[in-house]
Chain A
Amino acid sequence: MESEILQTNTMQQQQQDEKDDSGIEQDNSFIYIRVAVEDLNLQKVLKFNLDDTVWSAKQKVLQVLVRELIDGLNFGLYLPPSNGRAGKFLDESRCLREYPLSGSVSYLEFKYKRRVYKAIHLVQKNLNSKVSTKKFIECVKTNQVTKVARYLEKGFDPNFHISNDETALSCACVDLLEPRSMIMTLVNGGAHLDFRTRTGGFTPLHKSAIHYRKESIVTLLELGASPNVYDEKGLTALYHTVLNKQSESINDSAYCCQLLLQDHSIVNCRDDYLSTELHQACRLGLVQHVEHLLFYRADIDAVNVAGNTPLHICAAGNQEACARVLLFRGADTNIVNKSNQTAYELALVSQNPSVASIIQSHKPDHVVPFREAPVVNPKRRSIYLEVDKHRTRSSSTTTPSLSLASRSQSMPKLNGVNLLRRSNSPPNEPFSQQHPSSRSSSPKSFSVNSDHGFGSECASHLSSNSPNATNGCYTYKRKRLYAAAPGRKCMCIKSYQANSPGELSLKKGDIVEILSVGEQGYLEGRCRDMEGWFPNNHVQDICIFKNNEMTNGDTIVISRDALSALMINNDTCAPRTVVLQRGKKGFGFVLRGSRVAGKMFQPTPSFPALQFLDSIEKGSNADKAGLKQNDYVLEINRINVISTPHEDCVNLIKRAGDTLALKVVTVHMPSVLHSHQESHYAASQSLPFRRKVVRPSLDRPFGEDLDRTLAEYEYGSMSEAYVSIAKQTMENIHNGTTSLRLKNKPMVPERDSSLYDCFTNNIQHHAYNRFRPLIPAVSVPNLTSMANLRCNSNTSSNEADEESSLSSMNSNQIVQQTTSMEENGIGIYMTPSLSLSTTNMSTFKTITTNNPLPSKPSEVKRRSNNRKQIYATININNKAIENETSIAPSSVPPPPPPFPANFDSLNKASSIQPKSIKVEPVTTTTRPNDFQMQIEQAKNGLKKVNLETSPKQTKSNGLSKSTYKNPSNDSNHYHPPELKNIIIEELPPMNGFPPPPSPTTLRRSTAPKPALDPRLDTNFSSVIAQRAAAAKARRHENSIELEFHSNGLPPSTTFYNHCITTNGISSHGSSNPQRFSATANQLLENLKRRGGHLTPIDPLIKHYN
């Protein structure tokens, strides 16, 4: 304080600056504050805008006064004690205006956040010795509230760092299962709610949001923590809830997201690339988050640095469900990004025809705006009030609303914060047209009035919000927040038994139509003509496509986790059979158990067998199959091993070769695994794999890839995202080649391997490019940066890979012929879909075929047609959509697929051309043309600012020589009456950007004569189980044959990429697993891009013919 005052002409300069950025020059909106930095013996008078937040004021102080501060974010503006009032740190999310900084020049200190002692006798003590700190941490981590309170009572300062990314409070928030009392104790003992970690500058609220700790978030918010504090990168806690990478916590994070939104979290926070929460949610396909964000008035047409709106992100990332929600909520489809693409065009360029079709078939009158007002915590001062004034222009129907200014006069407590939607506009009018300007300027159209009824109701909810109260007398009404976007469907992955009236019981595999979204993470849905509420963690969003009306072939996209949840019955301890393929490093489990034969062994429910699985390697086949640590092994390849000694079991497994059927049972044990420990382990594990990815060897056994790629997939990191794209496209080529040969022959399931390859980092990527310098990089000028990246990465695909895939394909060809004979009824195809983008997928497809021999020309034609449709529906993100036309006779024109006219016609056009059995080369040459044209069109389209769909359609129709299709089915697209095909999609991988590999499509289509397939009527999960059982049975029958024919390659690796579990459901022998690895189109596309001419293709293909 006695330091020299450096108040100089810098002050005037500062003033000048202020004028420049604000543009407003009002005397009463500025304040001069003398800021003292005690540590540096420094004082300076700075001019602040009264509407600046304390956070921005702090940033300014950091910039102007003290740049080189260590842990600068934990410094804060401190209002020193004066005249009997205790000193306090200013809350960073508040405006300077909210603090009584009166006088000509106010005085604030800038100091490190430590406990502010109110009781005098505590101040002098310094109790934070090393020893006591250590003990204190111990107490916090073991949740010893009493001891912690005693420390704090003595004056211990809880504001310290345990490690670089942990403070005492954040540790309590994240590590404790029931953190509430500990958090309250710490805060009561002077812990600052915004004491940040050293790395990232995360507050405890950020940390809780990152780890989706609902109770911590509730507690912190109830303690007055602001949801609008920023971390080092300027992101809010809300932003972190959207960056969900773990599929199992999606529902948790959605709930956290809602909690924060409800507590006035500001939406439209932007990261370095100006991406908002909505962009991120769309990128990751988080439907519930998207709905919540939109409900709380997130800017639906926010534009990021590349000019992309969330809809663009959906288009590029193939997030159909999110795209659908955006469109229903009024996203503007005409916005072009910096590459002059509309979302529709981007979807085309990114080869996501399903999204493209959704966008194209969207009509403005489909828009269903939110009718409900967002519910916010009425007991927190609304951040929306300020924006409000110019916004409530209309509301003739609303009660007089209060603005911030008027509130402050003499108003009593704000009883109700009622957020009204612009009530003057007709509800059926598209959102985007209602207030075109409102979005860009400030999307929040909240108004506040003192309406008691509404406010007090939600007040009571919020006050009783504490989780502790839920188990006792507190019964919450599941207050409806808003109606869900129409047609949103979920699949139940965990049975739910209704506990109270108004709830809906669900069975696994049920498909529920979501009617509305409620508080407490509940959803209201309709299932089997019943309506009711259920918790959202029992369901998973799916996307349903109506493939074609004639055959009722619909496609359901669900995440792979949902599938495994469906297949593995977690609710009971029933034994299950798992079919495993040997991976590169084995099956991926460690067997453990008694070495002595247990003659006397009596199996009990808790100890059912002698041998058990000791550990499961993360990412291995065993892991993918859902095997868990401590599962007991009952049977190995149908041999009962309950009391078999260890050696014998090991021998059995060794003898089993590459395929292993394990019957295991999970014994429930209370085990708490912490996910980040696992991932840490995993990261180290995947290193060797990564190295190998760089140069895929020509003679590498095909099967090895799976392990590697699965591992990659699991542990790829965010920074690796872009590079993974490159690798994936390479795989696509590779897959494309395979499918080129195989497309009309059902294949025995075989490991597809390279599907999941990822590049590990940019360096490698570049190295790789250098490695093949001869491949010219083709750039497509109109693509977005992401698309460009993709293009470039295409060029880096290597021939070795292609060749290996070709050879593998070759080997499989023979196998196919053996199996194709019996291919009647349902078959399962696995089609890794090609995408230029970030994801790989494989497809399970079950079709009913009526033609016994696929080699008939008509059959071939039909199939090639299918192929193309498949191609047309490639997804970037984990989704593969396949259209199967299951009409048998060739005389009948294929039923129209669900895609827009241009796709269709293109497909048709190319499908006509093949005339003979040796169709492949022909198709390959024709197909690229088609695709090329399509791409050209897309490019042309990009040049137009506005997309007009009709010209486009005609153009594409013109290209195709003959068009059978009837386009009428497009309109009905969103409401498929019946669900027949199921696509399992992989959720985005844990580490973010690299979109997940191995989406699988499981598809069931109705045959014209349903009598052929007895299973059509059974429900979904049992179908899966049956199919799995059938596949397993088949595998056993065929395994020897396959090996015989497979040219030294591992014959069959995975059916489903992950495993099949049966739960005592008897297998029907009629189904056939068939697998396509990929379509040829991708390859041709890539070749075309490389050289622009197709000459090299033919020899290549012939060689393998």
Chain B
Amino acid sequence: MREYKIVVLGSGGVGKSALTVQFVQGLFVEKYDPTIEDSYRKQVEVDGQQCMLEILDTAGTEQFTAMRDLYMKNGQGFVLVYSITAQSTYNDLVDLRDTILKVKDTTDVPMVLVGNKCDLEDERVVGKEVGQTLARNWSSTFLETSAKQKINVNEIFFDLVRQINKRTPVNKDKKAKGKGSSQVGNAYSSSMDKHGFDNLQANQASNNSRDKQNCCTLL
């Protein structure tokens, strides 16, 4: 079974945890508790294939730069969440995406842009088309969701799994990963002085996602 590492990002209070918990547990959490960092697992079937999703629900209210670098490196797909009721949360995503691309050192990262709280139509500040434009610029998927009313919640994660599958198909997994990792490693050695580290991150990711027997061929 393939594992997918998904990271949910966004400003504080946009509903990252609500979306995640809704997806994983099928509940809507009314109470706001700023997340510190939580990791969830859920096994789903996407397009007839069993997938193990490992979802990292991050803290929006505090950001530790090094920690962020770590999970961005480890993550394969990213859910960028803003609240349609707060413009600033939308604005923050631009920086966030830039950071991801910088860390990943590629422009092509599986990503879903999510405008949450679409049930609160009365308080809408960010228009739907605004979100769509941004998603188009990013060439990522755009979804307006409601964790409360369970609108489009599963679609976020399913879409992400498909994106990951498309970019790194299972059968070519090994090759693609190996190539990717060397790129990452080289790029990082120049930019952030961390030889080897990124390589390993990539290797680790690839090891996790493929059969154990094959790994000796690459190394």
Contacts and interface: CB of A to CB of B under 8 A. Distances in A.
Interface of A: 83-86, 88, 91, 94, 98-100, 102, 118-119, 145-146, 149-150, 153, 178, 180-181, 184-185, 187-188, 219, 221-224, 379-381, 407-415, 462-463, 465-466, 468, 472
14 contacts: A100-B33, A118-B41, A119-B3, A149-B204, A184-B194, A187-B67, A221-B64, A223-B67, A224-B62, A379-B62, A380-B62, A407-B61, A411-B13, A412-B92
B40 A86 contact: yes
A466 B66 contact: yes
A412 B89 contact: yes
B39 interface: yes
Interface in B9-30: 11-14, 24-25
Contacts of A380: 62, 64
Interface string B67-83: 10110001000000001
A220 B207 CA distance: 27
A380 B11 CA distance: 13
Interface in B94-127: none
Contacts of B86: 410, 412
B62 to A, nearest CB: 5
A571 to B, nearest CB: 28
Contact of B197 (A145, A408, A472): A145
A460 B33 CA distance: 26
Interface string B31-56: 11110111111100000000000100
Interface of B: 3, 11-14, 24-25, 31-34, 36-42, 54, 60-67, 69-70, 74, 83, 85-86, 88-89, 92, 191-197, 199-201, 203-204, 207-208
B197 A224 contact: no
Given A84-B40, A412-B12, 8 more contacts: A119-B3, A146-B197, A221-B64, A380-B62, A380-B64, A412-B89, A414-B12, A468-B194
A84 B70 contact: no
Contacts of A411: 12-13
Contacts of B25: 83-85
Nearest to B12: A413
A98 B195 CA distance: 37
A412 B13 contact: yes
Given A84-B25, A153-B200, A410-B85, A188 B36 contact: no
A462 B64 CA distance: 10
B61 A414 contact: yes
Contacts of B38: 85-86, 88
Contacts of A86: 38-41
Nearest to B85: A410
Nearest to A218: B66
A145 B37 CA distance: 25
B197 A149 contact: yes
Contacts of B207: 153
Contacts of A407: 61
Contacts of A153: 200, 203-204, 207
Contacts of A145: 194-197, 200
B199 A146 contact: yes
Given A149-B196, A408-B34, A187 B88 contact: no
Contact of B11 (A88, A413, A462): A413
Nearest to B208: A119
A153 B200 CA distance: 9
A153 B196 CA distance: 14
A413 B33 contact: no
Nearest to A471: B193
Contacts of A119: 3, 54, 208
A380 B192 CA distance: 23
Nearest to B203: A153
A50 B210 CA distance: 44
Given A84-B40, A222-B64, A412 B33 contact: no
Nearest to A102: B31
Nearest to A382: B62
Nearest to A183: B66
A287 to B, nearest CB: 31
- The 10 A-B residue pairs whose C-beta atoms are closest, nearest first, are A222-B66, A149-B200, A86-B39, A413-B11, A224-B64, A146-B196, A84-B24, A379-B63, A223-B66, A412-B11
A178 B208 CA distance: 29
A190 B89 CA distance: 31
A91 B92 contact: no
A812 B194 CA distance: 65
A1000 B203 CA distance: 61
- Of the candidates A84, A188, A408, A412, the one having the most CB atoms from chain B within 10 angstroms of its own CB is A412
Nearest to B120: A410
Contacts of A465: 65
Chain B CB within 10 A, most for which of A84, A85, A88: A84
A91 B38 CA distance: 12
A85 B196 CA distance: 31
B36 A379 contact: no
Nearest to A404: B34
Contact of B36 (A99, A150, A408): A99
Contacts of A88: 37-39
Contacts of B64: 221-224, 379-380
Contacts of A413: 11-13, 60-61, 88-89, 92
A965 B171 CA distance: 96
B62 A85 contact: no
Contact of A468 (B31, B42, B54, B192): B192
A208 to B, nearest CB: 14
B22 to A, nearest CB: 11
A849 B38 CA distance: 77
Contacts of A94: 36
Contact of B34 (A102, A149, A381): A381
A391 B67 CA distance: 33
Contact of A219 (B62, B66, B88): B66
Q: Which of B25, B61, B83, B92 has the most CB of A within 10 A?
A: B61
B199 A409 contact: no
A410 B117 CA distance: 12
A181 B194 contact: yes
Contacts of A408: 13, 32, 34
Nearest to A119: B208
A462 B65 CA distance: 9
B132 to A, nearest CB: 21
A381 B3 CA distance: 32
A407 B86 CA distance: 14
Given A149-B200, A380-B62, A415-B88, A84 B41 contact: yes
A185 B197 contact: yes
Contacts of A223: 64, 66-67, 70
A1058 B204 CA distance: 58
Contacts of B92: 412-413
A98 B37 CA distance: 11
B32 A118 contact: no
Contacts of A410: 13, 32, 83, 85-86
A468 B66 contact: no
A118 B203 CA distance: 17
A1056 B79 CA distance: 69
B33 A468 contact: no
B69 A184 contact: yes
Which residue, A149, A178, A409, A413, has most C-beta atoms of chain B within 10 A? A413
Contacts of B33: 98-100
B70 A188 contact: yes
Nearest to B89: A412
A405 to B, nearest CB: 11
B200 A150 contact: yes
B24 A85 contact: yes
Contacts of B88: 412-413, 415
A94 B36 CA distance: 10
A407 B197 CA distance: 37
Contacts of B208: 119
Contacts of A91: 36
B67 A222 contact: yes
A379 B11 CA distance: 11
